[in-house]
Amino acid sequence: MALLQISEPGLSAAPHQHRLAVGIDLGTTNSLVATVRNGISVVLNDEEGRALLPSVVRYLADDSVQVGNVAQAMQSADPVNTIISAKRFMGRGLHDIGDTLGMPYRFVDIPAAGPGQGMLQLRTVAGVKSPVEISAEILKTLRARAEASRGGELVGAVITVPAYFDDAQRQATKDAAKLAGLNVLRLLNEPTAAAIAYGLDNAAEGVYAVYDLGGGTFDISILKLSRGVFEVLATNGNSALGGDDFDHRIYCGLLEKNGLSALSPQDTRLLLTRARAAKEELTDRSETRITALLGSGDTIDTVLSRQDFYAMSQNLVANTLQPVRRALRDAGLKVEDVKGVVMVGGSTRMPQVQRAVAEFFGQTPLTNLDPDKVVALGAAIQANVLAGNRSADDWLLLDVIPLSLGIETMGGLTEKIIPRNSTIPTARAQEFTTFKDGQTAMSIHVVQGERELISDCRSLAKFELRGIPPMVAGAARIRVTFQVDADGLLSVSAREMISGVESHITVKPSYGLSDAEVTRMLQDSNQHARDDMQARALREQQVEAEQLLEAVQHALEQDGDALLDEAARVNIRANMDRLREVLQTSEHLAIKRAAAQLNEATVAFAQARMDKSVSRALGGKKLSDLEI
C-alpha cells in the first residue's frame, strides 16, 4: 500500500541516513516532545528527567524569558507577566474569548484591520506579546530539548492541534513554529495522533472513538482503523472547554463559600493554583483540604469532597457528551458500533469523566497508554514517516476538516463547496457565472459554517477576479477551486474559463471562531434546517424575479413601442408592478406566481422579438445562400 505522503519534497532520506524529526504536543497545560528511536516512539525528558513541560511563560523586565517549571513557580507572585493557557488565545480576538476565567492579564484587543491582525495580545513588563510569540517560547524550549537529546539539528516537526481548531488557529500555530525556528512537516489533529499511537502499538482494527479532554480544549473523533489505514469518519468538539474550566468551578465555589468577590491578580492566581491542585488530588482521594492566605488578609481553609466536586462540574462533563453524539450521528454510527474508546489528555484522569464515558459507550475506556503522552507519541511516528525514515509497514492517514467551506452567491446565500468531515487533503471546484450583462469583475467571498445564509456563517476572506470579458449575463464560466492541504489550511482560486484570467488567495483570517460560534454553527444548522431552506427558497426566487424584471425592462426599452400596442404594454407593466410589489414580501410562493404571470404576459412579445431577430438575420439573403 502506498503512503499518502512518505516525505516532504527534498526530504527523502538515504538508506544509511536517519533524519532527526520529532512530534510535538503543544498543550494548554503541558507540552511534550517525542521521537522515534530504534523503531519505538519515546518521549524526550529534560535534564532532570521530566517529560512534561508546563505551558507557562514568564516575561521579565530585562527582556529575558522563563519557560516551564521555573515560570510556573512564579505564577502566583507575578501573575500579570506569567502567562498560562496561551493556547486558548491562539487565533482569537478579545471578544471571542468571552469569560477570561478570572485571568489577571492586561489584554490588548487589536482591531482586525487586515490579514494577520485582530488577534488579542497581552501587555507585559517586556512589552506587548501575542499568543503566537508566547507559544513560540514553549516550542523553542522543546526544540532545544530535542536537539540536545538527539545531538543534531532537526529536519522538522509534526505539531498537533485540536481537531476542532479552525483555519485561523491552525495558521497561528504554524506561525508560532516558524518563530521558534521549526520546520513544520505537518499539523496533525490530536485525536488522530493518539489513534496512530494506539493503532500501531496494539494492531487495532475497527471503529474507535478518541475522547480528548485537555487543559483547554475538547475533541471527539470517530476513526476507522483497518490494515494500516487510519480514516477519520467524523470529528466534533469544543475549542474552549477543558481542565481549566474544572479549575474555575472550584475557584468560584471557594469565592462563594467564603463570601469573597473582587480579588487582586495575585490572589486570583493563587486560588486558581490551589483549585488545580485540589482537582488533581481528588483523582485518588475522596476529599482534600484547600488552604490559602490571601494578600487581603483573608484566610481560606475549606474541605472539598469528591462528591461536591462532581456536583459542581457535572454540567461540564455533560457538555463533552453533546459533541460525542453529533460525531456519531455524522459518522452514521450507533454507540454499539464503537469497538473501543481511547482516552486522551490529562483531564480524562478525573473519575467523573471516566465514569461518564464508560456509561455512555457501555464499555471501559482504553487507558494503557499515558493520556498525557499518547498524542506526542503518535505525532513522533508521523514525523518519522514524513522525514523519510520509515521504509516498511507503510500506512495511510485520512483526516477530515471540521466545518464546511464555501462562497457567497447572489442573494446572500451560502454555496458549500467542501462539506464538513471531508477527507483531507482535498480539492473541489464548482462553476459560477455573472449576474449582469457586461460584468467584468466578480467578488469572491469565502465563508465557513453550516447555515444557508451568509449572515449566519463566518467570513474567512474576500478577493476579486478582474478582467472578465464583457458578456451577457450567464455567459461567463468562472471556475472556483478550493484546496485544503494536509494541515487543514485553505487556498482558493477563481478562473474565467473562456479568457483564462485567474486570481487566487491563501486564506489567512485575522482570528478564529469564537468559543460559542463553532458549537452554534452545528446546532443551528440542525435546529434551523427548515427555516434555512425556506429562506434560501425565498432568496433564490427573489434573485430570479429581479433578473426577469431587468430582462423585460430592457426588452421594452428596445422594442416595446415597435412591437406592442398600448394595451399589451399596459398589461406587461401592470404585471411588472405586481411582481415588484410582492418582492417586498417574504412569500416566495407569491413571488413565484407573480413571476409566472409576467412570463405568461410576455410570451407573445418574446415571440415577436425573436421573429424580428430572425428577419433581420435573413434580410437580403436568398434561400440558396443558406446552409442547411
Active-site annotation, residues: 25, 87, 190, 212
Cell numbers for 57: 511563560
d(CA 198, CA 219): 17
Q: How many residues does the chain have?
A: 628
**Cell numbers at residue 478, please?**
468562472
The C-alpha atoms of residue 291 and residue 573 are separated, in whole angstroms, by 83
Cis omega (within 30 of 0) for bond into 425: yes
Which triple of cell numbers denotes residue 571? Answer: 398589461
**What is the β-pairing status of strands 56-59 and 40-43?**
unpaired
Q: Kindly provide the residue ranges of all beta strands, DSSP E only, lying in 310-451, ordered along the sequence.
A: 340-344, 396-400, 405-409, 413-418, 423-424, 426-432, 441-448
CA–CA separation, 80 vs 85, rounded Å?
Answer: 13
Burial 221-238 (b: 16+ CB within 10 A, else e): bbbbbeebbbbbbbbbbb
Sign of CA dihedral 240, 241, 244, 250: positive
Grid cell listed for 510: 485575522
Cα 497 to Cα 474, 500, 563: the distances in Å are 13, 5, 37
The letter for the amino acid at 1 is: M
Which grid cell sits at 487? 494541515
In whole angstroms, what is the distance from residue 483 CA to residue 429 CA? 9
Within 10 Å of residue 468's Cβ, how many Cβ atoms? 20
Kind of pairing, strands 21-25 and 30-37?
antiparallel
Type and span of the H or E element at 460: strand 458-466
- The Cα angle at residue 266 between residues 124 and 121, in degrees rounded to 5: 25
